[in-house]
Structure 1
């Protein structure tokens, strides 16, 4: 089984909580970074695996490259694992 990288738009799931410097960003109660408001515009500082493009936030995930891929492949064992 091989895994491919996929970019998911998670913007609708991101929650911002105010702090002294701007907003701390979370997805499902997990901190993913922060956003600071400046005169030059919003400045994002996101953890590895997350990126910002325009007004959208994306998460890099790994998904199986084959449809219905199984963790264990028994083809070489004639159906026996």
Structure 2
């Protein structure tokens, strides 16, 4: 099972208003969208990012793949 680290990046997110949604950016890279519908918000995030309890996280895999070398 891979070892994962959740890094809170909420305070580093920049949003750009578009029609009906916000584009979400981290370090100049678009990481997803926040759809603004009525009183509910729906996140559409790129792989490796999650939304939990009002915070945005980057998921980092700490486990390296082991390479088998046969002599």
Using the size of structure 1 for normalisation, the TM-score is: 0.69
Runs of 4+ residues deviating >4 angstroms = none
Aligned counterparts of 2:31 and 2:4: Cα–Cα separation in 1 = 19
In the alignment, what sits opposite 1:36? 35
Q: CA deviation at 1:5?
A: 1.6
Q: Which has the larger radius of gyration?
A: 1
Q: CA deviation at 1:60?
A: 0.3
Runs of 5+ consecutive residues of structure 2 not aligned to the other structure? 64-71
Alpha-carbon deviations, 1:26-71, whole Å to 9, x = none?
001000000011124111000000000121001101337xxxxxxx
Q: CA deviation at 1:13?
A: 0.6
CA RMSD of aligned residues (A): 1.8
In the alignment, what sits opposite 1:56? 55
Q: How many residues align?
A: 63
In the alignment, what sits opposite 1:15? 14
